[in-house]
Amino acid sequence: MTPQDRSILSSYDFKRSAVRLGYSAMVIALIAVALSMLYPFGITVFSSLKSKQEIYVFPPTFWPRTFVWSNYKEGMQYIHLLRAFWNTALIFAGNAFFSLFVVGFASFGLSQLKVPFRRSVTFYFMSSLMIPSATYLIPNFLNLQSLGLLDSDWALWLPAGANAFYILLLRSFMDGINKELFAAARIDGASDLRCFFRIALPLSVPVLSTLLILSFSSTWNDWFWTSLVFATPNKYPIAALVYHNIIQSLNIPWNVKFSILTLVMIPPLVFFLVFQKNIVHGLNVSGVKG
């Protein structure tokens, strides 16, 4: 067995009964957690294929007796998914732009430039993570209202450039970039802006991809803030549209509601399954120094 194949527990460790017992307990706990997290997804998918009568049967059934695929066709009559998808994609594009450049410039400045009171600024960003988001919800709304940005995508794009968690995560990664690279570039006449675009940005692709994935997840799932800033229903992203037109509706049968929720649930699941390695890798490398 090579050192790379050697895990925390070897075959020799499993000869001990205490190790086997502890390992079995951890596996059982992991399976229980996985099942508890998969159960809501299973309920949503299988309930979307049930008939209206079977939804209200007691005791409830997990597996549908008959698969009613027409629920999905009926659900399309209550919601305009393509328009909501486009609105969500437009919001994500703006969030990605501001997250990439504004957060990137701030992280680069705190990491590689001689910014006055750099430690105090970093501590300020870190302390802001301890403040509940509900406390600055009304001030943000009033600021956007005074600027005349309500009912526009700018109400979502501008706050994306002030994400303290993204700044600290990217700064932590840039702290690990060898400073001699920037010193050599400055000797050759490169400006700080050129160092950012030619050195820091290309080397930060792993963590930047993680930030974009996290931004997509928050954009897709955000319904509360979008419901506040948007007054025009045609501008709603997918989460706000589902909340107002589906969740709050009393006229739509529950099996049809579950069919719409299943369709909305598929894109982020596929997105995460495809890019899960980027998420784990980006979070890992952001914590490695040197």
Q: Looking at residue 290, what DSSP letter applies?
A: -
The residue whose two tokens read 């598929």 is: 266
Count of beta carbons in the 10 Å neighbourhood of residue 252: 19
Q: Which helix (H) or strand (E) holds 79?
A: none
d(C-alpha 268, C-alpha 219), whole Å: 11
CA-based end-to-end distance of the chain: 29
Contact 199, 49 (CB under 8 A): no
Contact 219, 91 (CB under 8 A): yes
DSSP code per residue over 194-239? HHIIIIIHHHTHHHHHHHHHHHHHHHHH--HHHHHH---GGG--HH
Contact 197, 255 (CB under 8 A): no
For 132, phi and psi rounded to 5 degrees? -60, 140
Count of beta carbons in the 10 Å neighbourhood of residue 57: 11
Which residue type does 45 have?
Answer: V
Alpha helices in 80-231 (DSSP H): 81-112, 118-128, 137-147, 154-160, 164-174, 179-187, 192-195, 201-203, 205-221, 224-229
Q: CB-side exposure of 119: number of CA atoms within 13 Å?
A: 0
CATH of 75-285, one of 3.30.360.10, 3.30.70.360, 1.10.3720.10, 1.10.260.40: 1.10.3720.10
Q: Could you tell me the pTM of the whole model?
A: 0.76
In order along its 290 residues, the chain shows pLDDT tens digits of 444 445 566 666 777 777 788 888 889 999 999 999 888 888 888 888 888 888 887 887 888 888 888 888 888 888 888 888 899 999 999 988 887 888 888 888 888 888 888 888 888 888 888 888 778 888 888 888 898 888 888 888 888 888 888 888 888 888 888 888 888 888 888 888 888 888 888 888 878 888 888 888 888 888 888 888 888 888 899 988 888 888 888 888 888 889 888 988 888 888 777 776 666 555 555 444 44
